[in-house]
Chain A
């Protein structure tokens, strides 16, 4: 059996464009290839204009927050990304792209996007750091992102820090958890904003499936598939339940 038959999330007659935000020097080949595999057209976004044609955006990235924020600012992408999120359009943050959603990073003290209440801290009590390898992602509730993926499935991680939601709705942001010394949020969601600490583009068949799910969910969101997809900017912390 093939480990991952390419699973198309987009009908051949349709075009779905995903802007992958390119603000650094990391590996974008894998995410680009995985999104192409599920049938989307990938735009490597380096300028604000690159977001105009996109149906969804993916912010990937590894490493520290401060240089990432600096590069995003230099590319004048910070405000367009914030506007994108505030207008309820679909966002997926991967690894650093998840961490940047919070208010600040304790890794280097950088102020980050501040879309979600909380901060990025080093994993507590980890037997090894960085946390590198495949680990189980345990869902706390259902979400279309994990459609067809077994509870507790393994995904690939490579990081030392993780986002910690804060405030009265903190617990509701946590979509899935993973344990490495202590438990941390390995997937978060609020309305139109999704984030995963692991790397779906490096997580074999389940990773490709998760990206296909993101594309389908994004298309449904764009089609206005009901209150389930209340955008963050519309003031709903009730979204995504």
Chain B
């Protein structure tokens, strides 16, 4: 049976792993390859690596860090941040990534999703969707979310649910859905947002934004329908270990891969 994945996210700025509430109050949390290797050893099912300086400053992804990470951790690696073209995606894959996450560039030019999928296969194309709840909704209105880009700073007017369906049609093989409202707040995943998307698309969905404790991971899967759950600071700061999260998931009856060496 397919295991539900636990994925530590390494937000990287200037070659270091950092975490703040998106783009502000960044705190240095370590060397990317070193952290990736540690997480792989501790049972991470995959590593997501986001070069958060790439999109705002227009820099290319740090390919040497991708390669050093890929050489140290024999688990899958997804890389995002600043990939704007098929050629850039090729370079990131060649450096050792298994999947590439597209975000701002896909919103600017949705054909990028289909071109990358045609070239590398849809299984290599992750579309990251940063979603913010629309304000002003009364209790009688159905909830709605808007796609935001550039780390949550720029609204697009695009409906997040419609966008998720569109990118899957275009060739996205996986969605990384981040609640910008919850990101960095440790108030739990937005399971309503997750359910709205997972009930409409057939591809795996990775939940992101708001993880505080093991119960949140369980809720993202059980209530949100997510295939995988992603978190950063609670792992980096050792508030919870991957093993703790997996134990809670297993206790809730969710299929998880055993942490290596603990069986």
Contact = CB atoms under 8 A, between A and B. Distances in A.
Interface in B146-160: none
Interface of A is mostly: mixed
A30 B70 contact: yes
Contact of B96 (A27, A127, A130, A199): A27
A63 B124 contact: yes
Contact of B260 (A26, A129, A204): A204
Contacts of B227: 128, 132-133
Contact of A204 (B1, B4, B75, B94): B75
A25 B261 contact: no
A131 B97 CA distance: 18
Interface of B: 1-5, 40-41, 45-46, 67, 70-71, 74-76, 90, 93-99, 119-124, 173-174, 202-204, 227-228, 257-258, 260-261, 263
A179 B202 contact: no
A134 B3 contact: yes
Contacts, number: 123
Nearest to B256: A134
Contacts of B46: 133
10 contacts: A25-B120, A26-B94, A29-B71, A63-B123, A63-B124, A128-B2, A132-B227, A134-B45, A158-B99, A205-B260
Nearest to B86: A25
Given A3-B260, A160-B123, A205-B260, A133 B71 contact: no
A4 B203 contact: no
Contact of B95 (A29, A132, A150): A29
Nearest to A203: B74
Contact of A158 (B71, B98, B228, B260): B98
B120 to A, nearest CB: 6
Contacts of B119: 25, 67
Contact of B74 (A2, A25, A30): A30
A156 B258 contact: no
B97 A202 contact: no
Given A63-B120, A129-B202, A133-B5, A202 B74 contact: yes
B43 to A, nearest CB: 8
A154 interface: yes
A224 B203 CA distance: 46
A3 B41 contact: yes
B88 to A, nearest CB: 12
A77 to B, nearest CB: 19
Contacts of A34: 74
B203 A27 contact: no
Nearest to A159: B123
A223 interface: no
A135 B227 CA distance: 13
A127 B205 CA distance: 12
A29 B1 CA distance: 28
4 closest A-B pairs by CB? A63-B121, A29-B96, A3-B260, A1-B261
Given A62-B121, A135-B2, A179-B1, 18 more contacts: A3-B40, A3-B41, A3-B260, A3-B261, A4-B260, A27-B70, A28-B94, A29-B95, A29-B96, A63-B123, A128-B203, A130-B122, A130-B173, A133-B4, A133-B228, A134-B45, A160-B122, A202-B75
A210 to B, nearest CB: 11
Question: Counting chain B CB atoms within 10 Å of each CB, which of A28, A130, A135, A180 scores highest?
Answer: A130
A134 B121 contact: no
B129 to A, nearest CB: 17
Contacts of B1: 135-136, 179
A130 B261 contact: no
B96 A133 contact: no
Nearest to B227: A128
